[in-house]
Amino acid sequence: MKVVLLVGGKGIRLAGEDGVLPKALFSIGGQPIVQHIMRSFAAHELREFVLCLGYRGDQIINHFLHYAPFVDSDLSVELGGAGELPRVARLDHARPAWQITLAHTGEESATGERLRRVRDYLRDDEQFIVTYGDGLADLDVNELLAFHSAHRRAGTVTVVRAQSQFGHVSFDEGGTVARLDEKPPLPGWINGGFFVFDHRLFDYLQPGDSLEIDCLPRLVADGQLVARRHEGFWACMDTYKDGVTLSEMWERGEAPWPTSD
């Protein structure tokens, strides 16, 4: 089972138009959010990833080639003589290996087009997960996969209840306040960004498509998309404030999302 991550985002609401990092590399507690997302899947023994690169994708490649393999690891470094490169070995080999495909899917490609461009890396006879490079949840992935297999449709979308950013005030006609609710859940459900698809997804994708605007409505029209409610923790790192909140959770040891790999 492969996990496809759409990591082409620019993070404009996080760092503005002149941001120097792709959104997926913004840090939570010293680790980029994409690493947290991947570790949350690895905690469920899903360790095959396809990353759909876009904005500053070279930086994501650099992270996984030159930084990620050595995080939290003890190293042995042997310095050679003149002209010889250092030899580096990890001393702890207990961590299971991850298989990561880093795919260039276009600087400005829409999300559906990014998926089309990684089709060859997804075997037609299996399901696969799709998610974004900015969302975290205490999702039970095994239950999500079981749900998808049971309904036999082409796609499953995880839906969540978003929290209001503001306190809500209820009052009578005279203005007397009857109730204050600090950042209550908003009514209705939103797309939580954790999908399961089978190969039929590609029958609904056309060149240049957006997954959300073009493809998903076609699945809906054919009755091929099923929603699974997630009542637990969910957060999207969309703004600087979101990043601060998630980092504070991590630093306090209160991160609700799985962190073991």
Residue with tokens 């797309």: 191
Q: Would you say residue 25 lies in a domain? A: yes
Q: Would you say residue 59 lies in a domain? A: yes
Q: Would you say residue 216 lies in a domain? A: no
Task: Quote the CA–CA distance of 52 and 113 in Å, as a whole number.
Answer: 10
Phi, psi torsion values for 56, nearest 5 degrees: 50, 40
Task: Quote the CA–CA distance of 52 and 132 in Å, as a whole number.
Answer: 10
User: How do 48-53 and 2-7 pair as beta strands?
Assistant: parallel
pLDDT of 52 reads 97
Q: Would you say residue 52 lies in a domain? A: yes
pLDDT of 172 reads 81
Please give the full DSSP string across 186-255, using - where no structure is assigned: PSS-EEEEEEEE-GGGGGG--TT--IIIIIHHHHHHTT-EEEEE--S-EEE--SHHHHHHHHHHHHTT--
**Structural domain count of the chain:** 1
Q: Would you say residue 217 lies in a domain? A: no
Q: The domain spanning residue 32 has which CATH number?
A: 3.90.550.10
Q: Would you say residue 175 lies in a domain? A: no
- Average pLDDT along the chain, 261 residues, taken 10 residues at a time: 91 58 89 94 94 93 85 78 73 78 94 96 87 95 96 96 80 83 81 96 96 97 97 90 90 88 61
Q: Would you say residue 185 lies in a domain? A: no
Its pTM stands at 0.86
Q: What is the token pair recorded at 250?
A: 């991590």
User: How many CA atoms lie less than 13 Å away from 254 in the CB half-sphere?
Assistant: 7
pLDDT of 174 reads 85
For 208-226, the three-class secondary structure string (H helix, E strand, C coil) is CCCHHHHHHHHHHHCCCEE
pLDDT of 12 reads 59
Closest CA to 90 of 119, 65, 69: 69
pLDDT of 131 reads 97
pLDDT of 105 reads 96
Task: Quote the CA–CA distance of 109 and 205 in Å, as a whole number.
Answer: 13
Residue 56: give the domain boundaries.
2-75+82-150+191-210+231-251
pLDDT of 76 reads 82
